[in-house]
Amino acid sequence: MTRIDFYVLPEAAEAGAKPDGAVITACKLCDKAAIAGQRTYVFAPVAAQADALDSALWSFRQGSFIAHERLGAPLSSPLPMVLIGAAEPPAEYQGVMINLSLEVPPFFSRFERVLEIVDGDTAERARSRERYKFYRDRGYELAMHKL
């Protein structure tokens, strides 16, 4: 059964909170999964957020980048460790999915792990509570990580 992890970012009013926190957190999670040899699909249905993540993955680590591609373009061979898209990914992506959407993607259960990033925004937190309840009510294993 899919394990769901919520990564809760600090509230915007807290010292050090950054508006791009979700993107940087997604980069860190992609990096961690790639080091572990896990292919990661980042579900980013908002184009601006997908663009920001695409750009950040190029410069996230000093001296290198996290190899990634966008869904929709012909994929390279071998498949990239990180794929960014707004639709269901190819069958080869079943390990980790990072959800940057405010909704639960209909294909989430095919992944071993789903990583939900909760932004510090009040409206975002309310939507994340709805997703948490959705998963909990269906019996999924849940974990919470406050960053």
Helix, strand or coil, per DSSP, at residue 92: coil
Residue labelled with tokens 């572990």: 36
pTM of the model: 0.91
Q: Which domain holds residue 35?
A: 3-146
Please report, rounded to a whole number, the percentage of residues in the chain having pLDDT higher than 70. 93
- Structure confidence at residue 147 (pLDDT): 83
Q: Where are the alpha helices (DSSP H) in 45-140?
A: 47-59, 122-137
What CATH number should be reported for the domain holding residue 67?
A: 3.40.50.10110
Q: Please state the domain count of the chain.
A: 1
Residue pLDDT, tens place only, 5-55: 999 998 765 545 555 689 999 999 999 999 999 999 999 999 999 999 999
pLDDT (mean) for 47-69:
88
Helix, strand or coil, per DSSP, at residue 76: coil
